[in-house]
Amino acid sequence: MILKADQIAKRLVPSEEDIDPLVIVPKPNIELLKQAGEASVDLRLGTWFLTLRQARLTHLSVANKDASYEDDIKFARTHYIPFGKEFILHPRSFVLGVTLEWVRMAGDLAGYVIGKSSWGRRGLIIATATGVHPGFTGCLTLELSNIGEIPIAIKPGIKICQLFIHDVKSETKTLSASCFVGRRKPTLGRIVIDELAQKLSEELD
Amino acid sequence: MLPLQHARKRVRSFLAEINRLRESEFPYEQSKGALALIQEVAERHLESLDALTDENDIDTVINECGMTVTFLYDNLPFLGFILRSTNIRNGFEVYFPLLRLARAILGEDTKLIISSEWDYSPFIYGGIPELPGFVLIGLPAPESANPLLMPLAGHELGHSVWIKHKCKDIFATEIREKILSEIKARWTEYTILFPGDLTDADLETDLFALQTWAPAFDWAINQAEEEFCDYIGIAIFGEAYLHAFAYLLAPGMSDERPFHYPNMRRRVADMKEAATTMGVATPQSYEQCFIDMVEPDDATEREKKFLLSLADTASQSIRSQLIEKARTLILNSGFIPRSNEIIKNIVGRFELVVPAEDTRGLSNILNAGWVALNDDSFWRKTNLSEMKDTTLKELILKTIEVYEIEERTRVSR
């Protein structure tokens, strides 16, 4: 069941005994959230961005068993845009951003990040229903793309996306330990080539 | 005239470099502002050079060219510093909270640049003629995004406090008198090392005699300043300063000791005394973490050793006053001292792997970070324990950013 804003607000004010709370920092305005009729909570744009170093890249190879997170980092450039400054997202360009909020998803909750329609109508596409798994904790990496015709100026602190949260049936309460966890900057992450994919990627004589 | 042509070209190259640097991604305006100030001075030098012709007196030309060389020589390192301040290896979240802290202590017109430097020892540039009001703090590049070492910036700010409050003038007389009384008490030793037809009455008037003990006086003043800066660091950051100091410097180097610092074990013992005076707990077995550096050789460097012992004795004699001066200056600056209750709350949040809110200052956040780092049981029950160092630094930097957001929105909340 998807949590309505007042339910999210309730979960954001946990009792002191709650050892596995839902946390969003900086905390949204709880009173406004309680009154909101939506079924999501708005998240803001953070200060860190990641772009690919196109001049160094011939292509991104994902079907390479040696591809690692570190390799990806070699081809990415980090940008810091302080509060008050703008990042100009040009038409057909793609950048990774990050939410200003650090989100800790409780073990019995999961979520989806969806763009805000007000941005979408102006050509700014934010993520493609990024999943936020139970036990995740960190800032959420956002995939930002300008599919419009006009450059868009985005500023840290603006409301950029919305987080839908729903409950999950689960017995476990461990935090996730993926490479996306516990980060304040956008993360490319690792494309895991499992055994089956590896075997299928090999050419036969 | 060749020197004049060269001088003009040199300044133009310098200005071209500034123009390239202006295209950097500046994380805060004060780096850019510093660049603009240096540019203005460089342009004035170029105007002066352009105003000269072959008809000018050769001495005038040489003098003007010489001044521009000095300007370029002095200011090029600052361009490098400003460039490195824009590097994304820096923990930019720390900047505004540290600027607020600097302004609370040094005055509202303080301007700050923090950079990641290729020097393992943190350092400060202050009192730069071209950059009035600027304090430039350099932190070692591999640690520049490590918020746990930010308390060492407290030491560097201490140098500006020392200058602002004219501490050298305050303590110089006492240091001088202590050195003179020590020489008189060790008169035979002194006259063997510095033979001459001197009496102790000549010590303060005879030019030769003055020169014999002048290095001891300079070293003692420098030692007093460095110790004062440690005490400022402790007054601002408490335990976190002691931890950061040990992280970067313990056990110490095996080289000959620098004379403008007390030797390491005394320095640490003095820091411990300052900590006790200020109600700061010294980590267990703290002094045992450090070793002394090599003293001058008894046989071949007897004069140096004698002078250094004078400096050590003189700076040590004002230790309590230095501690008190640092304590009261920070107390009277309106700086809000750290709170054990808030630190505990922050640690509690870190245990949940979330940044903290309502932290009320850098000192609380950094102390909480050190508590969590030093607690071996921290996160042991979670699957994050292997990523503890990285995750903790991320949490601390995010908490610092949240603190900055709270400060910016405090009035409107």
Residue B346 reports pLDDT greater than 80: yes
Which pLDDT band, with edges at 50, 70 and 90, does B413 fall under? very low
Which pLDDT band, with edges at 50, 70 and 90, does A78 fall under? very high
- Residue ranges covered by each domain of chain A: 5-193
Q: Which of A25, A79, A100 minimises the CB distance to B25?
A: A79
Average pLDDT, rounded, for chain B: 93
Residue A182 touches chain B, beta carbons under 8 Å: yes
Overall average pLDDT of the A170-197 stretch: 73
Phi-psi region of A129 (alpha: psi -120 to 50; beta: other; left: phi over 0): left
Contact B391 A102 (CB under 8 A): no
Average pLDDT, rounded, for chain A: 86
The pLDDT, as a whole number, for residue A62 is 63
Which pLDDT band, with edges at 50, 70 and 90, does B161 fall under? very high
Q: Which residues of chain A neighbour B394 with C-beta distances below 8 Å?
A: 138, 182-184
Interface of B with A (CB under 8 A): 25, 27-28, 88, 92-93, 352-357, 382-384, 386-387, 390-391, 394-395, 397-398, 401-402, 404-406, 408
* % of chain A surpassing 90 pLDDT: 57
- Residue ranges covered by each domain of chain B: 2-150, 163-332, 340-409
Q: Which residues of chain B neighbour A138 with C-beta distances below 8 Å?
A: 394
Chain CA centroid to CA B26, Å: 23
Overall average pLDDT of the A7-29 stretch: 91
Of A165-179, B5-19, B64-78, B166-180, the least confident? A165-179
Overall average pLDDT of the B115-144 stretch: 92
Q: Which residues of chain A neighbour B384 with C-beta distances below 8 Å?
A: 175, 177, 181-182
Contact A174 B387 (CB under 8 A): no
The pLDDT, as a whole number, for residue B15 is 98
Does A17 qualify as catalytic in the annotation? Answer: no
Q: Does A5-193 carry CATH code 3.40.50.12780?
A: no
Contact B354 A139 (CB under 8 A): no
Span A80-118, pLDDT tens digits: 999 999 999 999 999 999 999 999 999 999 999 999 989
- Nearest chain B residue (CA) to A48: B88
The pLDDT, as a whole number, for residue B44 is 97
Span B212-242, pLDDT tens digits: 999 999 999 999 999 999 999 999 999 999 9
Q: Are strands A109-115 and B111-117 parallel, antiparallel or unpaired?
A: unpaired
pTM of the model: 0.92
Contact B354 A137 (CB under 8 A): yes
The pLDDT, as a whole number, for residue A15 is 82
Contact B357 A27 (CB under 8 A): yes
Span B178-198, pLDDT tens digits: 999 999 999 999 999 998 887
Overall average pLDDT of the B333-360 stretch: 93
User: Three-state DSSP class for A48?
Assistant: strand
DSSP 8-class letter at A3: P
The pLDDT, as a whole number, for residue A172 is 66
Of A70-74, B18-22, B206-210, the least confident? A70-74
The pLDDT, as a whole number, for residue A19 is 85
What are the Cα distances from residue B349, in Å, to A3, B212, B344? Answer: 24, 59, 9
Residue B253 reports pLDDT greater than 80: yes
* % of chain B surpassing 90 pLDDT: 82
- Nearest chain B residue (CA) to A84: B28
Contact A82 B390 (CB under 8 A): no
The pLDDT, as a whole number, for residue B261 is 93
Angle at the Cα of B91 from the Cα atoms of B89 and B94, rounded to 5 degrees: 160
Overall average pLDDT of the B321-344 stretch: 93
Of A196-205, B18-27, B204-213, the least confident? A196-205
Chain B nearest CA to A18, separation (Å): 11
Contact A83 B387 (CB under 8 A): no
Span B56-78, pLDDT tens digits: 888 999 999 999 999 999 999 99
Catalytic residue among A17, A143, A149, A171: A143
* % of chain B surpassing 70 pLDDT: 99
The full 3-state SS of chain B, as one line of letters, equals: CHHHHHHHHHHHHHHHHHHHHCCCCCCCHHHHHHHHHHHHHHHHHHHHHHHCCCCCCHHHHHHHHHHHHHHHHHHHHHHHHHHHHCCCCCCHHHHHHHHHHHHHHHCCCCEEEEEEECCCCCEEEECCCCCCCEEEEEEEHHHCCCHHHCCHHHHHHHHHHHHHCCHHHHHHHHHHHHHHHHHHHCHHHHHHHCCCCCCHHHHHCCHHHHHHHHHHHHHHHHHHHHHHHHHHHHHHHCHHHHHHHHHHHCCCCCCECCCCCCCHHHHHHHHHHHHHHCCCCCCCCCHHHCCCCECCCCCCCHHHHHHHHHHHHHHHHCHHHHHHHHHHHHHHCCCCCCCHHHHHHHHHHHHCCCCCCCCCCHHHHHHHHHHHHHCCCCCCCCCCHHHHHHHHHHHHHHHHHHHHHHHHHCCCC
Q: Which residues of chain A neighbour B408 with C-beta distances below 8 Å?
A: 83
Show the tokens assigned to B124.
């400060």
Of B10-14, B128-132, B340-344, the least confident? B128-132
Residue B1 reports pLDDT greater than 70: no
Contact A139 B398 (CB under 8 A): yes
Residue A67 reports pLDDT greater than 80: no
Chain A nearest CA to B125, separation (Å): 24
Q: Are B368 and B356 in contact (CB under 8 A)?
A: yes
